Chain A
């Protein structure tokens, strides 16, 4: 095993890798055989489009958006950065998994079935996210100096000094 230029470890690709790759290829072939063998249900062309779209939307939209959000949070002053980042990660997760309730038509699939999507999901988000943000931010509001003076703030100042200097 050797270290890559960016410091991340690289695999050695020994016999173990090729054994796993062969086993994986067999399992994938079984899955592909099943997918193609049930083409009426799985619609392989549409399936491939959805798979490609999932990859592209993640790699070209979601991931850059996360990086951009991370960069923006990095601009916040020291004490705020960690709690805001944490609250944002939690919020993004909770909103993402609840999104189908807002964008989808689940209730319309069965009018009159009161047990389908029984929650008011806007209220649910408020119920979950209000305490998350309160817990994240309250300590800073109560002790702005102490928090701001610790690790994160010092690091930010160090970085900013470097940027100006270099």
Chain B
């Protein structure tokens, strides 16, 4: 090892590469899961149980993403001298490997940047976040495969080989390198734990760096969109409000608030788990969707379309697949933690189902359509 700082050693690069590989894999897989649930495919029926599965997959997406920021920057630092190697390519394979770095590094930076900006609700970029984040992930993972093809043997050798034994000795440079890696680990750890605080309720006091706290909001629960913001205040408070159960049913229902209240006989402890990663458990009381479907005489169905008083935007409705619609804990909730639902939490009734992304827990429900 000549020149550069002790951190700029293949062993440091390899160690960071392994950490980053794990974080990116977790992030990619959990991101795909979230997409599969929100854009259902014929070959996958997302189950209603285990209740907290989505909470953990999406929490893992958030934490692995934010932890990747220091890991990626540190890894790029360890190889920064290589950017200027001359000649730029030693042959076709080397040229392919280096060209793949453009989508790999550019895609990684873009994914982490847009992901971070999204959780902070800051949109300086003109493209739509979700769609672009999704397709950029595929491009980046493709480039990562090329990179792994070239670097996996190299990294393995750097970590295990005879050269590693010599380089991993007790000399001061190795000590400096270990210190660098430990520091990056601490930096990633601090950020990761703080974001974990917006997912794991007992750690919520640590969520100082995160854009959400799981206890900040009306009734001690965060709100993604307020009633005012989506202009449903009037419709939600209208005394003429009726919940409709329609579609493939023998007896369509039109239920006012008092009639819903009379049927609100089930309590369930269920989390709100946002696609942005934060989550919090709460106690809900409401009318089981299953009971409403039975009362309406639902005919055999594949799914239930839930529509909101909110007419526009991604929150205007959602689809309950059969396992979710039939789960005894899937409620049209009227109470949250023992008090009537706050307007911003979806008064008069909101959907709350186990293992369901927050974006699909439709608020201000006006109808259930059985299909």
Asked whether, in the complex, the Cβ of A105 is within 8 Å of the Cβ of B122, the reply is yes
* A7–B366 CA distance with the chains assembled, in angstroms: 68
| From B110, B134, B149, B186, residue with most partner A Cβ within 10 Å | B149
Q: How far is the CA of A18 from the CA of B186 in the complex (A)?
A: 37
Residues of A within 8 A of B344 (CB): 113
Check if B127 sits within 8 Å of A42, measured CB to CB: yes
Asked if B121 and A89 make an inter-chain contact with CB atoms under 8 angstroms apart, the answer reads no
Confirm or deny: A28 has a beta carbon within 8 angstroms of a beta carbon on chain B: yes
Contact of B121 among A32, A47, A54, A110 (CB under 8 A): A110
Give the chain A neighbours of B229 by CB distance below 8 A. Answer: 110, 112-113
Chain B residue nearest in CB terms to A20: B149
Given contacts A41-B132, A42-B128, contact A7 B1 (CB under 8 A): yes
8 A Cβ contacts from B1-49 to A: 1-5, 9-10
- In this complex, how many residues of chain A approach chain B with their Cβ under 8 Å: the count is 84
| Interface of chain B residues 75 through 106 with chain A (CB within 8 A) | 76-77, 80-83, 91, 93-94, 96-97, 100, 102-103, 105-106
Residues in A111-162 with C-beta less than 8 Å from chain B = 112-119, 121, 123-124, 127-128, 132, 151-152, 155
- Residue among B83, B139, B186, B210 facing the most chain A CB atoms (10 A cut-off): B139
Taking CB atoms and an 8 Å cut-off, the chain B residues in 106-135 that contact chain A are 106-107, 109-110, 113, 116-117, 120-122, 124-128, 131-132, 134-135
- Tell me if A93 and B187 are in contact (CB < 8 A): yes
With contacts defined as CB atoms under 8 Å apart, how many contacts are there between chain A and chain B in the complex? 267
Is there an interface contact between A17 and B154, defined as CB atoms closer than 8 Å? no
Rounded to whole angstroms, the CA-CA distance of A5 and B285 in the bound complex is 69
Known: A41-B131, A94-B191. A25 touches B146 (CB 8 A): yes
Contact A106 B211, CB 8 Å, known A55-B106, A63-B76, A85-B183: yes
A103 within 8 A of B: yes
A21-B96, A42-B128, A116-B121 known; A8 vs B172 contact (CB < 8 Å): no
Asked whether A97 and B191 contact (CB < 8 A) given A28-B139, A29-B142, A106-B120, the answer is: yes
**Interface residue B305 (Cβ < 8 Å from any Cβ of A):** no
* Interface pair A128/B223, CB less than 8 Å apart: no
A62-B225 contact, Cβ under 8 Å, with A11-B153, A101-B120, A118-B216: no
| Contact yes or no, B222 A1, CB < 8 A | no
B236 within 8 A of A: no
The bracket for how many chain B residues form the interface is: 35 or more
User: In the complex, how many angstroms separate the beta carbon of A142 from the nearest chain B beta carbon?
Assistant: 20
- B150 located at the interface, meaning its Cβ lies under 8 Å from any Cβ of chain A in the complex: yes
Q: What are the residues of chain B within 8 A of A10 when measuring CB–CB?
A: 154
A115 touches B212 (CB 8 A): yes
Residue of B nearest to A131 (CB): B190
Contact residues in B for A54 (Cβ distance below 8 Å): 106, 109-110, 113
> Which chain A positions have C-beta within 8 A of B179?
82, 86
A residues near B (Cβ < 8 Å) are 1, 3, 6-13, 16-21, 23-32, 34-35, 38, 41-43, 46-47, 50-52, 54-55, 58-59, 62-63, 66-67, 70, 74, 82, 85-86, 89-90, 92-94, 96-98, 100-101, 103-107, 109-110, 112-119, 121, 123-124, 127-128, 132, 151-152, 155
20 A-B residue pairings within 8 Å (CB atoms): A1-B157, A16-B149, A17-B150, A19-B149, A20-B146, A25-B142, A25-B146, A26-B142, A31-B142, A47-B110, A51-B106, A54-B113, A86-B182, A89-B184, A89-B187, A97-B191, A106-B211, A116-B212, A117-B120, A117-B211
Where the two chains meet, the residues of B that have a C-beta atom closer than 8 Å to any C-beta of A are: 1-5, 9-10, 66, 69-70, 73-74, 76-77, 80-83, 91, 93-94, 96-97, 100, 102-103, 105-107, 109-110, 113, 116-117, 120-122, 124-128, 131-132, 134-154, 157-158, 161, 163, 172, 175-176, 179-180, 182-184, 186-188, 190-191, 194, 207-213, 216-218, 221-223, 225-226, 228-229, 344
